[in-house]
Copies of this chain bind each other. A is one copy, B any other.
Amino acid sequence: MAEKKLVESITSMDVDFAQWYTDVVRKAELADYSGVKGCMIIRPYGYAIWENIQKDLDARFKALGHENVYMPLFIPESLLQKEKDHVEGFAPECAWVTFGGGNQLSERLAVRPTSETLFCEHFRSIIHSYRDLPKLYNQWVNVVRWEKTTRPFLRTSEFLWQEGHTMHATEEEAREEVLRMLKVYEDFYLETLAIPAVTGRKTEKEKFAGAVETYTIEPMMHNGVALQGGTSHYFGDGFARAFDITFTDKDNTIRYPHQTSWGVSTRMIGAIIMTHGDDNGLILPPKVAPVQVAIIPVQMHKEGVLEKAREVADALRAAGLRVKVDESDNSPGWKFAEYEMKGVPVRLELGPRDIQNGSCVLVSRATGEKTVVSLDGLAASVQEALDGVHNALVERVRKNLAAKTFTATTFDEFLDHAANHPGFIKAMWCGDAACEEKVKDATGGVKSRCIPFEEEQLSPVCVCCGRPAKHMLVWGRQY
């Protein structure tokens, strides 16, 4: 009954999605609360997912010529204030260092909430000529944004992320970079995290503090709620002017360079949990799963079973797979439940009879399907099963997204969806932030997610005010 206890200890997602999320984070040992308000401890299993995410994304960045750097943790208040919109957006959520080495500081230091200002200061000292451009920089760091209510991975006062910061000679090149990096995120979400998602441009109201334009990727969680999954910003030359960054162009004119930044964070682990998980726990996309294959020896103490399990594991590892043999004294049933909870994509059950038959039982975490597979050529079967898990997850997310995306052409219809149909709402919009405000108030929190790249002409008028429509928006509640 041990396996029952393990599974029963998490709340069903249909009963209470928020509690289910918290239960999965704790039971799968992804993260823990700390005594520091709003800060989390990322446990080994959660951190190993982050390491796999980093490795994959970092290779994508470097393949496009980006270089990693490290900027200071602290931003002097005067530096943060150089770009007006930016400081207005971030100063209210900063943590401030006021004492250092036993003395009160003459100027407060913000713990970086994001690093545009630090990069600008550095760019100013290293960019002089068109030969110095483009600068394609990225850093993997911790940032702090003071939050009142926090949830592990989704919203924490400190989180880990990457922030890309680039400088270009022309607006055209900078705009290309912004869309190129959004595409990197979109590909990564689909190919690595198995999450197809909506992408598009943020409205003026929802864009990043200091940006000219913000592009976003907005995956939908299983319960129909959106998560802002990554953003890519075009800054024009606003920061360059504020920080006096100039370069001598080929024609000998002094110009301001054009800037971008783009980032994704440990929130992505929250997205993985909430898009793929089920009532048995986590389901990890195979590309980032710390353990891709769990081998459970059955009748473990019978002669030859453990030896065979280890032999099989070694063969799979040699094929490049991440494998764990569970040799603990827990019952096989307990182990099945444990690796389901931890979202291990493929489980292999191997007992004396299987060994006699030269086969084992392969179970997919995505579909629950059990197959008897031959131990000959097992690595290929397992790889196929892992691909199968990835594809099944993509398919499921795609279906969920389609099933929970609604269309509204009247405000009543919009309000009905907002109240009764959790998910995204596609509706036309006049371009006025006042309508976004009105929708948010009338629905208790539905906001514009983005102007998608592929807009449809659902109606000639704004769903909110009836004036001529400028864009189709995707709307939704968000984490």
Q: Which positions in A face B, CB cutoff 8 Å?
A: 32, 34-36, 39-44, 47-48, 50-51, 67-76, 79, 92-102, 108-109, 111, 118, 121-122, 125-126, 137, 141-142, 144, 146-148, 157-158, 160
Contacts and interface: CB of A to CB of B under 8 A. Distances in A.
A122 B70 contact: no
Given A35-B79, A101-B92, A101-B93, A74 B122 contact: no
B42 A70 contact: yes
Nearest to A143: B73
A168 to B, nearest CB: 17
B96 A100 contact: yes
A108 B95 CA distance: 11
A100 B109 contact: no
Question: 9 closest A-B pairs (Cβ-Cβ)?
Answer: A101-B146, A39-B72, A44-B67, A42-B70, A96-B99, A100-B146, A36-B72, A95-B100, A98-B98
A351 to B, nearest CB: 25
Nearest to A137: B44
A158 B100 CA distance: 12
A289 to B, nearest CB: 15
A87 to B, nearest CB: 13
Contacts of A69: 41-44, 47
A254 to B, nearest CB: 23
A147 B101 CA distance: 7
Contact of A39 (B73, B94, B137): B73
Given A76-B36, A96-B98, A71 B41 contact: yes
Contacts of A158: 72-74
A34 B47 CA distance: 30
A74 B44 contact: no
A41 B68 contact: no
Given A34-B122, A92-B102, A125-B32, A73 B41 contact: no
13 contacts: A32-B122, A32-B126, A41-B69, A47-B69, A70-B160, A72-B158, A73-B142, A93-B101, A95-B100, A95-B109, A96-B99, A100-B146, A101-B146
Nearest to A125: B32
A97 B111 contact: yes
Given A36-B74, A142-B142, A101 B148 contact: yes
Contact of A95 (B35, B94, B97): B97
Contact of A72 (B41, B44, B68, B99): B41
Nearest to A328: B131
A98 to B, nearest CB: 5
Contacts of A98: 96-99
Contacts of A79: 35
A75 B95 CA distance: 13
Contact of A75 (B36, B67, B146): B36
A101 B146 CA distance: 5
A147 B146 CA distance: 26
Given A95-B99, A96-B100, A101-B92, A118 B70 contact: no
